[in-house]
Amino acid sequence: MDFATARFATQGYHPTSVAEIVQGLGVGKGVFYWYFSSKEGLFLEILKEAQHELRRAQRQGIGDEPDPLRRIELGIRASMAWLDEHRQLFNLFQFASTEERFAPAMRQGQEVAAADAVRHIKDGIVEGRIRDLDPELLTNAVLGVINQLARVFIHERGEKGADVADAAVAFCLEGLLAGPGEHRR
Amino acid sequence: MDFATARFATQGYHPTSVAEIVQGLGVGKGVFYWYFSSKEGLFLEILKEAQHELRRAQRQGIGDEPDPLRRIELGIRASMAWLDEHRQLFNLFQFASTEERFAPAMRQGQEVAAADAVRHIKDGIVEGRIRDLDPELLTNAVLGVINQLARVFIHERGEKGADVADAAVAFCLEGLLAGPGEHRR
DNA sequence: ACGGTTCTTGACCGATCGGTCAAGTGCCCC
DNA sequence: GGGGCACTTGACCGATCGGTCAAGAACCGT
């Protein structure tokens, strides 16, 4: 299944044939359809497992930190680190949301993961430490930052995940502006 | 070509066959290959044209505004408005960056578009109004916010582009944090 | 050692794909 | 009106796809 994941990630889902997968594994085609219902089924399983792992990594990275802002920061760092390893899965996620059959599964997984972050943001808002905007919107803004930075700087340019995570945290918390806010913590 | 774009966007590139396109247009298959070199060629043309249009919309939205921060804001709004119309093209962009044959074209277009934004950010930094971080990184963070918010709130939930743009601007400029910075402009 | 279940093979199938091409069809210019 | 060019058609092609299945191989409890 790791092999199939790698092929899907580097070539794309459609251009990767079942024949190619089983040949790369050195097995017959029958064994594939013995363990998986179909090519689509395999892909969905890969997706589901990956989403589950990512969420687990996030939870583990956050631990039992009580401060909501720190929780968000730790979540960003954990996500970035996970996307650093497993960069192959990045493409899969992105492709899956473009095809109608896979998009629902992707959306569902994303919403579950986002729900965690939304809670932290809400906590931050009631504490008065996060601006009073729609929490879901803020959450997605943060997710967008993570995704884009991971893709461009880690995936395309191969930079260190931790450095990118530092910048992502700084941007998400304080935005672009310099000024008095720079030292307001 | 608009018809092909719509099919590609709703069904995906691979599941849309040339036969389906020409049938939907009510023409023979020959006329397709008279005007386009191949299915891939058509797709690349669609991509290139769309990127060009988006960039044009950004430039037009910014106009001759001199203030770099305002330029960034106007760029965000213009992008969001363009992604609001043309939401079909969103999927295409996302898919194109997942397949190895299309990714280079996508990256190139993205980099050109990003280069504009990088200039404004650099201007803001030398004026001391934007925090002194890597301009390319800040640019990509902003792009990530735009993409994610456009996809989730405009594309999936059908919300008004202008409202989402307001929030995107607020987040990009000032980040998540509340506090004294809230009124520092 | 043997019947039975689990697992594996790869030739094979119908469907469908992107792309070709001989055979027109209309149109314009001389 | 006729020769030539721009354009259009759809049957057709080889390739390849996802998926099936008859035929075993390997391993079991007995």
Q: Closest by alpha carbon to A11, among B94, B103, B41?
A: B103
Q: Say what the pLDDT of residue A184 is.
A: 41
Average pLDDT, stretch B61-73?
93
**pLDDT tens figures, A128-178:** 888 888 999 999 999 999 999 999 999 889 898 889 999 999 999 886 665
**pLDDT tens figures, B42-55:** 999 999 999 999 99
Within an 8 Å CB–CB cutoff, is residue B24 touching chain A? no
Average pLDDT, stretch B64-72?
93
Question: Can you read off the two tokens belonging to residue A140?
Answer: 């997605």
Candidates B7, B11, B97, B98, partner chain A, best to mutate (most A CBs within 10 A): B98
The torsion defined by the Cα of B30, B34, B40 and B41, in degrees rounded to 10, comes to: -170
Q: Say what the pLDDT of residue A176 is.
A: 61
- Is there a contact between A184 and B180 if contact means CB atoms under 8 Å apart? yes
Measured CA to CA, the distance from residue B150 to residue B148 in angstroms comes to 5
pTM of the model: 0.89
Within an 8 Å CB–CB cutoff, is residue B63 touching chain A? no
What one-character DSSP code corresponds to residue A98? T
Q: Say what the pLDDT of residue B185 is.
A: 39
Distance A27 CA to C11 C1' (A): 15
Q: Say what the pLDDT of residue A174 is.
A: 83
Within an 8 Å CB–CB cutoff, is residue B70 touching chain A? no
Residue with tokens 């213009």, as numbered in its chain: B78
Across the interface, of A91, A151, A177, the residue whose CB is closest to B173 is: A177
